[in-house]
Structure 1
């Protein structure tokens, strides 16, 4: 009989979590460490990365902080020189400019694309080759429900999240025979710094909660289980997938209310 109890065991594995300073990234780093991984807690905010690593160490886990700016190729290279080739790579950071598409400036458009899509590419481009040379590895990057469902005011964000999925699927096809799995996670509404603008409006907060089948927002730790699953041998035959953790948002039809304010 297969040793099913060991499927989630990450003992002896190294995991690099980009965006570990807060939100889903922090929860993912904590969860990976809880299952035995040594976690490199990377973030553009070195202080936040250090705080996450210290918290994991204080709970008996193994973790180290690492400064990494996804928008800066030199920063990614410097982080890679310290980190080496991890067994699992998790890339979580995103930004959004919430406004009607036709009122976006070039700078706003470029800023969202540069982090969400190109930043993910920069990180994967640097770490995936080592995994392929070794013959093993799991890459997990974050998409969103916006890869499939859109709403007014999130056009460029949705474009980057759909683009991330297709980019990852292409990489899954290219690296599958070399033992590297590549998957995307699509969270729904999660209480993180990225969603502060929505949470600060009681009307918006409640409208979003009602859109889910569970009628509530998620906490970051509720996304961490999918990160552990995709990083571990429990998902050894899963690649090129888009895994929804959205409280039923994409399964339930509905209207987006209140409407986005006019420009």
Structure 2
């Protein structure tokens, strides 16, 4: 690459992005990040009002639009794929968690977590991935979790779905790669979002999570946007089938004991 091009490594001008789950939290931050680097962004969410708020927060941007999308509705997913045939970047964040120990889990709870976290992810990768393969370009970015790698009591089904998502994206990388399509996962640590409200409400739990990571704090959603911009851009043109941990050092630090000097 000519050195004159390095300044454009993260430029997304001319790229069409879809952010599923963009109505709040990490998805909202990713939508704003992609738009800031020039992408035209469709903010898709089951909560249309939330998606519209994401658009309205972008200071009059004309490169963002809101769309209602329930990823559990196969017809809605198919319609979104058909209506957005030139999608270059797919980011999806939608997920749920039922924090219960294995012996307390009900079949309905199991099915609910699997359906949103894994089955809908497959539908998005398959639907949007097909068009990307046909056009010979694209970047698929799914939000997994550090729980794909490390667990704790009460995280069984959630962790299984996130580990499954990583393997789904790695397989997509293998199958779509010859056509010029990349697929990667981002694995956040503890982030202050609606999904973690239960933890935040318990001060002891909140503080313990903050202390576990190397940085000693939780992340804000905006701190995940850079990872999405990177994986969407030409800066990551040779990055596929990988997991980018944005976890404040959680998975690098083993335990909380501070040895004496």
CA distance in 2, matches of 1:137, 1:126: 13
CA distance in 2, matches of 1:250, 1:199: 20
The reply on whether 1:253 has 2:261 as its aligned counterpart is no
CA distance in 1, matches of 2:155, 2:60: 38
CA distance in 1, matches of 2:121, 2:172: 12
The reply on whether 1:158 has 2:159 as its aligned counterpart is yes
Structure 1 equivalent of residue 22 of structure 2: 20
- For structure 2, list consecutive stretches of 5 or more residues without a partner in the other structure: 257-261
CA positional deviation for 1:251 = 0.3
- For structure 1, list consecutive stretches of 5 or more residues without a partner in the other structure: 256-263
Q: Which runs of 4+ in 1 moved over 3 A?
A: none
CA distance in 2, matches of 1:85, 1:146: 33
Structure 2 equivalent of residue 242 of structure 1: 243
CA distance in 2, matches of 1:157, 1:88: 25
- TM-score between both structures, scaled by the size of structure 2: 0.95
Number of equivalences: 254
Structure 1 equivalent of residue 57 of structure 2: 55
CA distance in 1, matches of 2:44, 2:65: 8
Structure 1 equivalent of residue 219 of structure 2: 218
CA positional deviation for 1:187 = 0.2
CA positional deviation for 1:227 = 0.3
**Per-residue Cα deviation, 1:40-89 (whole angstroms, up to 9, x for no partner):** 00001111111112222x24351010111111111101222322231100
CA distance in 2, matches of 1:166, 1:204: 30
CA distance in 2, matches of 1:97, 1:4: 44
The reply on whether 1:41 has 2:36 as its aligned counterpart is no
CA distance in 2, matches of 1:186, 1:82: 29
Backbone CA RMSD of aligned residues:
1.0
- TM-score between both structures, scaled by the size of structure 1: 0.95
Structure 2 equivalent of residue 121 of structure 1: 122
Q: Per the alignment, in what secondary structure is the counterpart of residue 113 of structure 1?
A: helix
The reply on whether 1:204 has 2:217 as its aligned counterpart is no
